[in-house]
């Protein structure tokens, strides 16, 4: 496509032709999703307290990797039961409502680790943990847990959305929880939800069909 656009637009000088030559769309692949049991095995296989808590927060608060490492202690408002996410995707701020269990885990982590500014500080307290540390922890935990899937921080976000869908949560609520502007971004989780697939009745089940033809 690039060669054709260059040939007509530059070589032949027909600037109007390249505009009608569309680029091929990149194929959209289905996200990798962990089962609830795999999420537990995965998180329990992370030996570091800081990395385990960060990845647990990424799953329970449906955070992206950059949003997870960017959390500050002041972003956790346990009184109101919310977490403030600053400069998320598209530079937008948003508020997420964590579960009571996540808040309990974060309190235990705070008592043990005593973070000052950044919730998950790096080697120096003046900067957050590097996102590559979380990626490395994901690779190690996946191998230790014996999970035969590619697991990243974003995999936990995909898994959270799929688990909500399988539990019967309205897809429009999931859209708000994930911070999606377009419902189509959320709708792709319907294609990876095994629970929804199992609960879908085949039209064949409504028919009275004999397998062996009558003699």
Domain 36-199 top-level CATH class: mainly alpha
Write out the DSSP string of 25-74.
PPP-PPPP---HHHHHHHHHT---HHHHHHHHHHHHTT--HHHHHT-BGG
Mean pLDDT of the chain: 80
pLDDT of residue 194: 54
pLDDT of residue 88: 58
Element spanning 104, H or E: helix 100-113
pLDDT of residue 186: 59
pLDDT of residue 118: 95
Q: Which residues of the chain, if any, have pLDDT below 50?
A: 196-197, 200, 202, 204, 207, 209
pLDDT of residue 36: 86
pLDDT of residue 207: 46
pLDDT tens for each residue of 124-140: 878 999 999 999 999 99
pLDDT of residue 171: 67
Element spanning 95, H or E: strand 94-96
The DSSP 8-state label assigned to residue 146 in this structure reads T
pLDDT of residue 22: 74
Q: What angle do CA 149, 140, 110 make, to 5 degrees?
A: 115
Residues with catalytic function: 64, 89, 154, 157, 180, 189
pLDDT of residue 197: 47
pLDDT of residue 180: 62
What residues does 77 pair with on adjacent strands? 82
Element spanning 94, H or E: strand 94-96
Q: What angle do CA 58, 139, 165 make, to 5 degrees?
A: 40
pLDDT of residue 147: 94
Radius of gyration, alpha carbons of the chain: 23
pLDDT of residue 81: 80
What is the phi-psi region of residue 152: left when phi exceeds 0, alpha when psi lies from -120 to 50, beta otherwise?
beta
């Amino acid at each position: 496509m690039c060669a054709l656009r260059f040939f007509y637009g530059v070589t032949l000088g027909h600037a109007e032709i390249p505009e009608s030559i569309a680029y091929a769309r990149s194929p959209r692949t289905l996200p990798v999703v962990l089962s609830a049991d795999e999420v537990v095995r995965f998180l329990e296989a992370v030996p570091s307290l800081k990395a385990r808590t960060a990845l647990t927060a990424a799953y329970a608060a449906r955070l992206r990797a950059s949003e997870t490492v960017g959390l500050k202690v002041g972003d956790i408002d346990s009184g109101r039961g919310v977490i403030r996410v600053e400069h998320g995707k598209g530079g937008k701020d948003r508020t997420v409502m964590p579960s009571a269990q996540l808040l309990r885990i974060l309190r235990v982590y705070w008592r043990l680790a005593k973070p000052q500014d950044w919730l998950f500080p790096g080697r120096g307290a003046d900067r957050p943990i590097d996102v590559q540390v979380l990626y490395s922890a994901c690779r190690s935990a996946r191998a230790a847990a014996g999970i035969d899937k590619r697991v990243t921080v974003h995999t936990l976000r995909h898994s959270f959305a799929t688990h909500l869908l399988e539990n019967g949560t309205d897809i429009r609520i999931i859209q708000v929880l994930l911070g999606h502007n377009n419902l189509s971004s959320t709708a792709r989780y319907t294609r990876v939800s095994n629970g929804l697939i199992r609960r879908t009745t085949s039209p064949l089940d409504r028919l009275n069909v004999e397998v062996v033809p009558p003699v």
